[in-house]
Amino acid sequence: MTPLAASPKNMHELSIAEALIGQVEEEVERSGQTGRITHLDVTVGRLSGVSCDSLRFAFELLAPNTLVEGAKLNITEPVAKCRCHHCKSLTEIDDLIMECPKCSSREISIEGGRDLLLQSIELED
């Protein structure tokens, strides 16, 4: 048996915040900009499995001594939609569901709401 220790992380959102900060650093380096980062625009779909509160908490925890220290996290949370093939309704949903909220048919498809994106980075000039 070979023991192997991974880097310490203690929740899902912490590794997402880590990825976010890493990607911001890559993008800023590539742009050659040196101004302080003021805002980050992030998309966290309602069905992405990520809790925005936990993501904010993890971000604040990891931000000190990185390029994003002091930056504000703007999160947009696109909703998902349930399209029912039986009653033809289109309903906004917050959770993955099994049946149409209108007619309880199981002939449904879930659209959108899964995005987890770094949209843009705002820096001082």
Contact footprint for another protein (CB under 8 A): 1-12, 14-16, 19-20, 22-24, 27-28, 31, 33, 35, 42, 47-50, 96, 98, 106, 115-125
Within 8 A by CB and 6+ apart from 26, the residues are none
Least distance CB 42 / another protein (angstroms): 8
Task: Give whichever of 89 and 115 is closer to another protein, judged by the CB atom.
Answer: 115
Q: How many Å apart are CA 24 and CA 92, to the nearest integer? A: 31
Which residue type occupies 121? I
Task: Give whichever of 50 and 63 is closer to another protein, judged by the CB atom.
Answer: 50
Least distance CB 64 / another protein (angstroms): 20
Do the Cβ atoms of 55 and 44 come closer than 8 Å? yes
Least distance CB 110 / another protein (angstroms): 9
Within 8 A by CB and 6+ apart from 114, the residues are 45, 47, 48, 80
Task: Give whichever of 89 and 110 is closer to another protein, judged by the CB atom.
Answer: 110
Least distance CB 33 / another protein (angstroms): 6
End-to-end Cα distance, the chain: 54
Q: How many Å apart are CA 60 and CA 71, to the nearest integer? A: 9
Task: Give whichever of 62 and 123 is closer to another protein, judged by the CB atom.
Answer: 123
